[in-house]
Amino acid sequence: MRLGPDTPLPASVQVPAYDRAAQAAGIVHIGIGAFHRGHQAVYTDDVMNAGDRDWGIIGVSLRSGNVAAQLNPQDGLYTVSTRSTAGTDLRLIGAVQRVLVAADDPQAVIDAIAAPTTHVVSFTVTEKGYLRGPCGALDQAAARGPSSLYRFVGAGLAARHASGLPGLTLLSCDNLAGNGAVLRALMRQYLAAAHPDLVDWFNTECRCAATMIDRIVPATTDADLAAIATEIGVRDEGAVVTEGFSQWVIEDDFAGPRPRWEAVGVELVADIAPYETVKLRMLNGAHSALAYIGLGRGHHFVHQAVADPEIRPVIERLMRNEAAPTIDAAPGQDLAAYADALLDRFANPALNHRLIQIAMDGSQKVPQRWLETLAWHQARGARCPSLDAAITAWINFLRSDHPIDDPLGEKLREAAAGPDAMAKLFGESGLIASEWRPETAG
């Protein structure tokens, strides 16, 4: 038996309190992976439970039909299991209405973006999904390719413009430094080349709000699906497993209507930069270090790596002595307490967060997670022993037998192979552009 709208569930499972069928879809979300389902969709479900309406989500997968095959036969429904040492809490999320696969039906995606009820288009396409070439400019050839977010958003905006509809808010929910400004700049570059007549309208009628998203949502495993089936009595192929912690900070800059997310714990602020920098350099910086150092020492999961007495002090130092001093904290932001909380979150054994999942796409992650911190200290003549150790571990990882899942995979492997790996990877003529110069740092 498969989860669906008529499935009886155990009374302990929280279910949507609103009439799902009566909601319009106000959000199109591109890149509907586990993270979106365990984060933004949960807040949006909360908003509709609290009485706000018409914020149903149409999910889009740019390439793969997997999520559509998981969710569409379940009428978009899936469970979120929140796992802590105290046990598991299960709830049914009703915010997602259906999933479109852009590769199979591109027009349906364009129509969803161009629908009068749509006000927000959000994204979790991972760092590489923004199709930035060297120096951060849009890779125009890739942006015209079949699975480019820009093509769909560009065509959807063109259709809105043609029919006199208002602009949209574009919300990047990926771990990029300055994700709102990055998306705005790249979208403008795309429109200037592909729809030059839209550029002025985009500039005045659309907004690209920046966001800081935070919740650890590991990829769901077959063992998770089997355990959830036992708990709820039916198969849920779209199930998501996550931690108790969840945070979302959004720059309050919307083109039109938006969900009342602030009523359900989301922080709407004027400037998200301090939140974002803290999260990228402390949480994600530590995560990537745990991944490469941990894999090098034979661990599989985050909770194992952070418990290793050889690794834990490196991670503590990275967060407290290297990343934290680089950040101008917002009022009320306590970076020491944040580091304590992160150590607890990483130690959660119920999550089974795989290091190899975090190790993916290092070329896209390392700049904002490590190199900005290194550059900050280098400018002050200081060293970062923990980040140096993390860089060494990454190079060892690139030299190892592990498969390298990264858009620069082969190039990285070649650059890392020789004795001048540091200069080939970083520095002026390295693969990864950065202000940090390894020659003098390390």
Tell me if 95 contacts ligand CS2 by CB under 6 A.
Answer: no
Name, in order, each residue with C-beta under 8 angstroms of 201's C-beta and a sequence gap of 6 or more. Answer: 157, 161, 167
Q: Which stretch binds ligand CS2 (CB under 6 A): 50-58, 144-152, 283-291, 310-318?
A: 283-291
CA atoms of 278 and 326, how far apart (whole Å): 9
| Min CB(290)–ligand CS2 separation in Å | 9
Tell me if 284 contacts ligand CS2 by CB under 6 A.
Answer: yes
Q: Inter-axis angle of helices 335-346 and 285-296, to 10 degrees? A: 40
Comparing CB distances to ligand CS2, the nearer of 61 and 284 is 284
Could you say which of 215, 281, 303, 424 contacts ligand CS2 (CB under 6 A)? 215
By CB under 6 A, the residues from 332 to 371 that bind ligand CS2 are 357-358, 365
20-37 exposure pattern, b = at least 16 Cβ within 10 A, e = fewer: beebebbbbbbbbbbbbb
With contact defined as beta carbons under 8 Å apart, do 214 and 167 qualify?
Answer: no
Which secondary structure element, helix H or strand E, spans residue 57, and what is its range?
Answer: strand 56-61
Comparing CB distances to ligand CS2, the nearer of 72 and 175 is 175
| Min CB(236)–ligand CS2 separation in Å | 22
CA atoms of 260 and 265, how far apart (whole Å): 10
Could you say which of 41, 114, 198, 216 contacts ligand CS2 (CB under 6 A)? 216
CA atoms of 275 and 105, how far apart (whole Å): 37
Lay out the sheet containing 240-242: strands in order across: 87-93, 78-84, 240-242
With contact defined as beta carbons under 8 Å apart, do 37 and 238 qualify?
Answer: yes
| Min CB(334)–ligand CS2 separation in Å | 18
Tell me if 83 contacts ligand CS2 by CB under 6 A.
Answer: no
| Min CB(300)–ligand CS2 separation in Å | 15
With contact defined as beta carbons under 8 Å apart, do 316 and 336 qualify?
Answer: no
Tell me if 70 contacts ligand CS2 by CB under 6 A.
Answer: no
| Min CB(276)–ligand CS2 separation in Å | 11
Tell me if 220 contacts ligand CS2 by CB under 6 A.
Answer: no
Comparing CB distances to ligand CS2, the nearer of 20 and 354 is 354
| Min CB(235)–ligand CS2 separation in Å | 26
Show the CA angle centred on residue 86, arms to residues 81 and 88, nearest 5°: 15
For ligand CS2, the nearest residue by Cβ is 287
Q: Which residue, among 354, 287, 363, 357, has the nearest Cα to 318 in the 3D structure?
A: 287
| Min CB(365)–ligand CS2 separation in Å | 6
Comparing CB distances to ligand CS2, the nearer of 76 and 294 is 294
Interface with ligand CS2: number of residues (CB under 6 A): 10
By CB under 6 A, the residues from 172 to 191 that bind ligand CS2 are 175
| Min CB(233)–ligand CS2 separation in Å | 30
Q: Which stretch binds ligand CS2 (CB under 6 A): 46-54, 106-114, 180-188, 281-289?
A: 281-289
Q: Which stretch binds ligand CS2 (CB under 6 A): 114-122, 156-164, 282-290, 394-402?
A: 282-290
Q: Which residue, among 406, 440, 409, 408, has the nearest Cα to 423 in the 3D structure?
A: 440
| Min CB(246)–ligand CS2 separation in Å | 9
| Min CB(360)–ligand CS2 separation in Å | 7
With contact defined as beta carbons under 8 Å apart, do 333 and 275 qualify?
Answer: yes
Two structure tokens written together for 245? 């912690």
Tell me if 251 contacts ligand CS2 by CB under 6 A.
Answer: no
Comparing CB distances to ligand CS2, the nearer of 148 and 348 is 348
Two structure tokens written together for 426? 């970083």
Per DSSP (E only), the strands in 285-327 are none
A 10 A CB-CB count for 105 gives 12
Helix (H, G, I), strand (E, B) or coil at 272: coil
Q: Which residue, among 329, 294, 336, has the nearest Cα to 314 in the 3D structure?
A: 294
Tell me if 119 contacts ligand CS2 by CB under 6 A.
Answer: no
- Using CB under 6 A, list all residues that contact ligand CS2: 175, 214-216, 283-284, 287, 357-358, 365
